Copies of this chain bind each other. A is one copy, B any other.
Amino acid sequence: MNKQDQNKPIPKATAKRIPLYFRYLRTLQESGVIRIKSKEFSQMIQVPSATIRRDFSHFGELGRSGYGYDVPYLIEVFSEILSTQVEKRIALVGVGNLGKALLKNNFRRNENLTIMCAFDSDPEVIGTCINCVEIKNIHDFSEVAKKEGITAVITTVPSKHAQQAIDTIVASGITAILNFAPDRVKVPEHVNIQYIDLTTELQTLIYFDEHVSQVNKLGLAKKA
């Protein structure tokens, strides 16, 4: 296999699209499609075909001109990159409204992602069960996380208490954290932290709708 050079990391923007590519390729495979042209794939996933070709070029020769891409082969390559054959054991910290929703869903569409354990500091919540996961005391985080073989953490702890929760997580040796509290926290350089901020996403969307896309809308109105 002419795969990615392990010593040469791929760009972050490309890495972000791999799970999307992978999901659609699996859908194609389930529908019995074994090859697809980059133009068709582009229309399906709404990513420009030049971007797809450039992304795929990081992983060697994945397609042939005029033939398109071999679906099972692409799935094999991306599956290895995403290590979807390996179970990712995740801990959830903060079992408020959003935490409860994440536990109830528990990545059911992705069999290799599993929230194994959940933590909170509220005595009313500790000891209860959601979707067969028992909520444990955050003070026991390090011990439970080690026992469960946790490699990544999702935290939904509000900004006010987020730094304290993150410190506990980092102290246990975890280096991958997805943080739903928008305020920036301090972590050592070797820790990977990713923020998801729903309010920012919504504000950006509304800003674009109100300002940037006015040009297009006026253009459309003129044509009509």
Residues of B within 8 A of A220 (CB): 189-190
Q: Give the residue of B105, B154, B197, B202 whose beta carbon is less than 8 angstroms from that of A90.
A: B202
B176 touches A205 (CB 8 A): yes
A1 located at the interface, meaning its Cβ lies under 8 Å from any Cβ of chain B in the complex = no
**Which of these, B102, B192, B207, B216, contacts A15 with CB under 8 Å?**
B207
**Interface class of chain A by DSSP:** helix
Contact of A113 among B20, B196, B202 (CB under 8 A): B202
Interface centre among A102, A194, A209 (most CB of B within 10 A): A209
Q: Is the CB of A46 within 8 A of B184?
A: yes
Q: When A44-B184, A97-B101 are in contact, do A81 and B152 touch as well, CB less than 8 Å?
A: no
Q: A209 touching B152 by the CB < 8 A rule? A: yes
Bound together, the chains give a CA A102 to CA B199 distance in angstroms of: 11
A residues bordering B, Cβ < 8 Å? 6, 9-10, 12, 15-16, 18-20, 23, 44-46, 81-83, 88, 90, 96-98, 100-102, 104-105, 107, 109-110, 113, 151-152, 154, 175-178, 182-184, 189-190, 192, 194, 196-213, 215-217, 220
16 A–B pairs (Cβ distance < 8 Å), ordered by A: A9-B212, A18-B203, A20-B182, A44-B184, A45-B184, A97-B101, A98-B101, A98-B105, A102-B198, A151-B209, A176-B206, A178-B205, A189-B216, A189-B220, A190-B213, A196-B198
